[in-house]
Amino acid sequence: MNCSLLIADDQPHVLEALRLLLKAEGFRTESAASPAGILAALETSAFDCVLMDLNYARDTTSGKEGLDLLARIQSIDGTLPVVVMTAWGSVELAVEAMRRGARDFVQKPWENARLLAILRTQIELARALRQGQRLEAENRLLRDQAGPGLIAESAAMRPVLELIARAGPSDAHILITGENGSGKGVVAQALHAASGRAARPMVTVNAGGLSEGVFESELFGHMMGAFTDAKSDRVGRFELADGGTLFLDEIANVPLNLQTKLLRVLETGEFERVGSSKTRRVDVRMISATNADLSQEVGGGRFRQDLLFRLNTIEIALPALRDRREDIALLAMYFLRIHARKYRKALGGFDATALNALLSHAWPGNVRELDHCVERAVLMSQGSAIKAGDLGLRPGREAAPRLEEMSLEEVECILIKKALARFNGNVSQAAGVLGLSRSALYRRLQRYGL
């Protein structure tokens, strides 16, 4: 057992006997001969356990010095196990020591086997307690950072849920594609939660929010003096995510000259901090997301094809909110509960006019727009239910009809409009893209009144 113990007694021969016993069992020890020495050691070093006498120079029988010291130790580290010992043991003193925070009690002269068993047990229990507290803190942080849960009952979301269930437990790198605001970050959190890395943090980096000058430092860290503003060493996001997941959002914005370094980390787990030649290793699962067509970015020379191959071992295409209308009411109710609690308003739900407005809106901003819309409605509402007017949706932005609901003429008209807009009204170029002659395109323009 690789452990560090602080042993404290005012008798040198007792300290030496304990040191030899514990060293033989593989423990590292540090000694203190007084309450002040114990406190000084705890302020400067970390220990797995404290084994201390209850009696010192001021009083040799009552254990009062040791009992007073227990409260001080608890204030420094409430998870540090303390095992007390005294030559003047009694049931009353043992009970009082345990009441003040001691984990166990031994009487001098001790039995070696019992003492070692007590120390090992208390160290293991303390480690389990600290681990539980750390995991709870990380989970609390993740809950605080998280957006909505993965609310998905629509048919369009079933393939997404199936991929999360199948790929989540693996360490495969995953690329999530979809429009802005469609919930790519929520899917990334679901993938992390389904993985064997769920007990470790998921670290998020928004590549679109970083300038090229700070991008490398954010991802890989830097050493003090590496550049003008580097006033101290900095740990990068890859190191913070070691053992867990790194979620790189808007990955299409990664500068081309840094994509090689990103590829190297994905292939080998190795990198160097800015300003350092020391190679560091990490074990990180990469989940990335983009609203761009990376194949077009590759074709345009703005994204490395080998990096794309590494990123999308599995690709999850997230549908837009307009394509998963069965989820709109569920998501709206989720946001209503969140914002009603936040603003301390008693709201029972949406009336019929509000629900109709929610379901007929096109939602170009997807789930993010829905969230902001419901928050506004909660603030504006003066009744017990949200009304259509509270939502603030602009009229005339009803949902676009699905392709299967449109006639061939309607589809062709839309394509012609898009082609003309793309080429600023140039009929020849638009005709070439549409596979039509100029005369055929002119006839259609006349037919559709364009």
The verdict on 47 and 171 lying in the same domain is no
Residue 145 falls within a domain, yes or no?
no
The verdict on 386 and 411 lying in the same domain is no
Residue 399 falls within a domain, yes or no?
no
pLDDT value at 11 more than 70: yes
- CATH number of the domain to which 424 belongs: 1.10.10
pLDDT value at 403 more than 60: no
The verdict on 202 and 259 lying in the same domain is yes
The verdict on 87 and 18 lying in the same domain is yes
Residue 147 is predicted with a pLDDT of 45
Show the domain range for 274.
155-317
Mean pLDDT of the chain: 84
Residue 369 falls within a domain, yes or no?
yes
The pTM of the full predicted model, rounded to 2 decimals, is 0.57
Strands 234-235 and 314-317 come out as unpaired
The verdict on 299 and 174 lying in the same domain is yes
Q: Please write the tens of the pLDDT for every residue from 36-63.
A: 899 988 888 888 999 998 877 655 556 6
Q: Please write the tens of the pLDDT for every residue from 140-176.
A: 544 444 444 688 888 999 999 999 999 999 999 999 9
The verdict on 291 and 414 lying in the same domain is no
Domain count, the chain: 4
DSSP letters spanning 48-108: SEEEEES-BTTBSSS-HHHHHHHHHHHHH-TT--EEEEESS--HHHHHHHHHTT-SEEEES
**Element (H or E) spanning 222, and its range?**
strand 221-222
Confidence bin at 398 (pLDDT 50/70/90): very low
